[in-house]
Amino acid sequence: MLTLYVLIILLVAAVLYMVSSVFVWFYSFWIRRDLDRNPLCNVSFLNSYFFFIGALLGLTVFFYFGFEELFFFIPNSWGSVNSEGDWSSTKDFISAGFAFFSAIFLLSSLEKINKR
């Protein structure tokens, strides 16, 4: 039993090491980026496009968990079984929809404010 706990601790330590190294790499890349460099594939909209997709995914995940807690009054028993036999909750579906459209609304609002 003790070896199981040691293996779990080593696994958690390894995962934390890998995740932290990815964050450090991304941070160092972000700090040292050259803003005067040519855009990606010499197409200027690709940089903003990739930034928009990354921000949309990040905000959607962030908002999803918030909306999931916000809809606490919807029971998890509401839902259906999908074609693969997995349970799909109505609460998860509604939370994902609200999160996606909220992220789009926030990003488009920030874009309008930035253009002024």
Q: Classify residue 94 by burial, with Cβ atoms within 10 Å: 0-12, 13-18, 19+.
A: middle
Please give the pLDDT value at position 108. 85
Please give the pLDDT value at position 16. 76
Side-chain half-sphere CA neighbours of 13 within 13 A? 6
Residue 106: closest CA among 52, 38, 66:
52
Please give the pLDDT value at position 86. 86
Please give the pLDDT value at position 101. 93
pTM above 0.75, yes or no: no
pLDDT 10s digit of each residue in the chain, 116 long? 567 777 777 787 877 777 777 777 666 666 665 556 666 566 555 566 677 788 888 888 889 999 999 998 989 889 888 888 888 889 989 999 999 999 989 888 887 877 76
Please give the pLDDT value at position 37. 61
Question: What residue spans define the domains of the chain?
Answer: 1-33, 41-115
CB distance 34 to 65 below 8 Å: no
Please give the pLDDT value at position 96. 92
Please give the pLDDT value at position 52. 79
Please give the pLDDT value at position 99. 93
